[in-house]
Amino acid sequence: MLLSIENLCVKYGNIQPLHGISFHVNEGEIVTLIGANGAGKTTTLYAIARLPPPEAPRVISGDIKFQGQSILATTPSDIVRNLHIALSPEGRHIFGNLTVLENLKLATYAREKGADLDKEYEYVFNLFPRLHERRHQRSESLSGGEQQMLAVARALMTGCKTLLLDEPSMGLAPVLKYELFRKLKQLNEEGMTILLIEQNANLALHLAHRGYVLDTGKIVAEGTSAELLGNPEVKKAYLGG
Ligand SMILES: Nc1ncnc2c1ncn2[C@@H]1O[C@H](COP(=O)(O)OP(=O)(O)O)[C@@H](O)[C@H]1O
Ligand SMILES: [Mg+2]
């Protein structure tokens, strides 16, 4: 088991987005956490990445383990640098006034000296040729889909082996969604472990090996993607009947 979330509760002041959730991700898997707006998906990823929430102090109980060790005391930069876990955040958070290349370069701050970055730029530009065409353009001039690809590419430039993706399909035209999800599949086939957070349950379950359904801070269903796609309650609530 690579990543395990054990009875995780998160409170922001007197708001409690997570009420004791447990799930795990094995090495090499794509696992999806699906759920409606406000279910606690982003809260979960921020807790794993050890990032502070945007406002409000956070109180956590339960545990988050990576390779069997608790990571609750690990700093966000050590999550990236030592554990090779990277987050592609909801809303992308790219630096609009920087070029594509500059955004990618920023993500390499934590890399070891001597890392072969040329090879990695080549890899991400191969994966996302459109980013290569636009590499000297200011990022704010990219389309929504291209910005989403940049957010994923930037996470990859950290040298991560585990990728946390927060709603990568949000706001993308269908063609771009499918293109992005094909790239995610390719990444996984090359060895990347992926935890995918999505509101688009249909898309997510067609990519992932397994999934969990989060409803107002609780896991209410879990199984292989095929099981969840066939689950009548999941169908009714998340798959449009
Ligand atoms: N920084 C915060 N301070 C206070 N409440 C928050 C904060 N972030 C999220 N929440 C609340 O926690 C709940 C879950 O939010 P979130 O994890 O963003 O859900 P999701 O990503 O599934 O849409 C929501 O009710 C939201 O308003
Ligand atoms: Mg969210």
pLDDT 10s digits, 139-149: 999 998 899 99
Quote the tokens at residue 109: 């701050």
Instruction: Give every CB contact of residue 14 below 8 A, 6+ residues apart in sequence.
Output: none
Convert the pLDDT of each residue in 173-221 to its tens digit.
Answer: 898 899 999 999 999 999 999 999 998 999 999 999 999 999 999 999 9
- pTM for this prediction: 0.94
Distance 40 CA to ligand 1 centre (A): 6
Q: Does residue 240 surpass a pLDDT of 90?
A: no
Which residue from 176, 163, 220, 161 is spatially nearest to 34, judged by alpha carbons?
220
In this model, does residue 56 exceed pLDDT 90?
no
| Residue 189 burial by Cβ neighbours in a 10 Å radius (0-12, 13-18, 19+) | exposed
- Residue 197, token pair as written in the block: 């957070």
Whether ligand 1 lies within 6 angstroms of the CB of 54 is answered as yes
Helices and strands, counts by H and E, the chain = 10, 10
Confidence band (pLDDT; 50, 70, 90) for 163?
very high
35 CB under 6 A from ligand 1? yes
Q: Which two tokens stand for residue 84?
A: 């090779």
| pLDDT tens string 71-126 | 999 999 999 999 999 999 988 889 999 999 999 999 998 788 888 899 999 999 99
Give domain 3-238's CATH superfamily: P-loop containing nucleotide triphosphate hydrolases (3.40.50.300)
- Going from the Cα of 171 to the center of ligand 1, the distance in angstroms, rounded, reads 19
Residue 189 CA to ligand 1 centre (angstroms): 32
Over residues 3-41, the pLDDT tens digits come to 999 999 999 988 999 999 999 999 999 999 999 999 999
Q: In what order do the strands lie in the sheet with 69-70?
A: 15-25, 3-12, 58-66, 69-70
> Which ligand places an atom closest to the C-alpha of 214?
1
Q: Does any ligand 1 atom lie closer than 6 A to the CB of residue 12?
A: yes
CA of 35 to the centre of ligand 2 (A): 9
> Closest ligand 1 atom to the C-alpha of 90?
21
Query: Domain spans of the chain?
Result: 3-238
133 C-alpha to ligand 2 centroid (Å) = 30
CA-based nearest residue to 167, from 32, 28, 15: 32
CA-CA-CA-CA dihedral for 138, 46, 204, 132, to nearest 10: 20
Q: Which DSSP symbol is given to 94?
A: -
Q: Please state the atom number of ligand 1 nearest to the C-alpha of residue 217.
A: 14
Q: How far apart are the first and last CA of the chain?
A: 33
d(CA 121, CA 17): 38
Ligand 1 centroid to Cα of residue 201, in Å, is 19
Q: Is 217 in the pocket of ligand 1 (CB under 6 A)?
A: no
- Ligand 1: which residue has its CA nearest to atom 10? 17
Q: Is the distance from the beta carbon of residue 112 to the nearest atom of ligand 1 less than 6 Å?
A: no
Q: Is 180 exposed, middle or buried (0-12, 13-18, 19+ CB in 10 A)?
A: buried
What are residue 165's phi and psi, to 5 degrees? -120, 120
Can you tell me the mean pLDDT for 159-177? 92
Task: Give the atom of ligand 1 at the shortest distance from the alpha carbon of 46.
Answer: 17
- Reported in sequence order, the residue ranges of the chain that DSSP labels E, i.e. its strands, are 3-12, 15-25, 30-34, 58-66, 69-70, 85-88, 162-166, 193-198, 210-215, 218-224
Helix (H, G, I), strand (E, B) or coil at 183: helix
Give every CB contact of residue 54 below 8 A, 6+ residues apart in sequence: none
